[in-house]
């Protein structure tokens, strides 16, 4: 699509949908924003980095309601975020050097989405006995660090917020209830997005016109997403998250395989 007001308006709509997704499920929202801007004319190579600038503002506005509900596990963030930030820088540096002109990265994204969907739909039961009042048990801290490495690296590599990895791993490895996992993930994805954005910008890997309109939509709608999540039961939230990711992964993967 040609650059113009219509494309800007559609990008804004994509940003609104992205923000709702981000606030509801604790993810960066790239599962919506990346294919959306691709459909609007952004190249596969630029789409990876262009979604990142909108993630931090969305995390800030979307996490406010979770903060009021005391659902954010700050101890988990203390172990997950630093390792994730370092991994995000490495992933962002590797991203433009992966062959396939961005298409192979998008296929990998689809596979990760399906993996996350399967984990969420299986409804892993959290082991609450291993959780301290103020965070995760000390024996689980290493898993928080590893979660940061996986999620941060993929954030920089694929232009994702990392939440599609963190939420299932927070559930499976750390035993966090779903709403705590979502709220904690949302803060972490905001941290991961900063170095990834800087690195992609230095590599000239961001289309800033797309990025600005996406950000405008995300900032407004992310609080609506967190409000929706708080109204759902834990079981419903987990199943809706899993089914949505499964649907997106199929559409996403087939589209990129055809492009290859």
Q: Is the dihedral of CA 30, 35, 39, 44 positive or negative?
A: positive
pLDDT at 132: 47
pLDDT at 245: 79
pLDDT at 116: 77
**Which residue reads 């040609």 in tokens?**
2
- Distance separating alpha carbons of residues 174 and 168, to the nearest angstrom: 10
pLDDT at 161: 63
DSSP conformation class of 100:
S
Going from the first residue of the chain to its last (260 residues), give the mean pLDDT of each consecutive group of 10, the final group possibly shorter: 90 95 86 87 86 90 84 94 90 78 74 81 54 54 93 76 84 89 93 85 92 96 94 90 84 74
- Distance separating alpha carbons of residues 255 and 227, to the nearest angstrom: 32
In sequence order, the 6+-apart residues with CB closer than 8 A to the CB of 35 are 248, 251, 252, 255
For Cα atoms 239, 115, 104, give the angle at the middle one, nearest 5 degrees.
Answer: 135
Q: Are 120 and 167 in contact (CB under 8 A)?
A: yes
- Distance separating alpha carbons of residues 6 and 9, to the nearest angstrom: 5
pLDDT at 160: 65
pLDDT at 101: 66
- Domain ranges within the chain, ordered by starting residue: 5-259
Beta bridge partners of 132: 135
């Amino acid at each position: 699509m040609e650059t113009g007001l219509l494309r800007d308006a559609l990008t804004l709509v994509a940003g609104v949908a992205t923000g709702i997704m981000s606030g509801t499920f604790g993810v960066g929202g790239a599962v919506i924003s990346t294919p959306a801007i691709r459909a609007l004319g952004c190249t596969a190579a630029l789409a990876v980095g262009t979604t990142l600038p909108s993630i931090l503002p969305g995390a800030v506005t979307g996490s406010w309601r979770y903060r009021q509900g005391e659902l954010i596990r700050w101890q988990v963030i203390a172990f997950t975020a630093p390792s994730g930030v370092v991994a995000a820088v490495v992933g962002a540096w590797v991203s433009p050097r992966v062959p396939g002109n961005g298409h192979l990265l998008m296929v990998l994204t689809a596979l990760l989405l399906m993996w996350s969907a399967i984990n969420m739909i299986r409804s892993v039961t959290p082991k609450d006995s291993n959780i301290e009042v103020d965070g995760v048990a000390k024996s689980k801290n290493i898993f928080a660090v590893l979660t940061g490495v996986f999620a941060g690296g993929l954030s920089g590599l694929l232009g994702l917020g990392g939440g599609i990895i963190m939420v299932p791993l927070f559930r499976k490895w750390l035993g966090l209830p779903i709403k705590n996992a979502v709220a904690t993930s949302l803060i972490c994805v905001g941290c991961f997005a900063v170095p990834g954005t800087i690195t992609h910008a230095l590599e000239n890997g961001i289309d800033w016109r797309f990025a600005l309109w996406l950000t405008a939509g995300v900032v407004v709608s992310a609080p609506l997403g967190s409000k929706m999540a708080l109204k759902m039961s834990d079981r419903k939230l987990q199943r809706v998250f899993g089914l949505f990711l499964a649907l997106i992964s199929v559409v996403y993967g087939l589209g990129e395989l055809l492009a290859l």
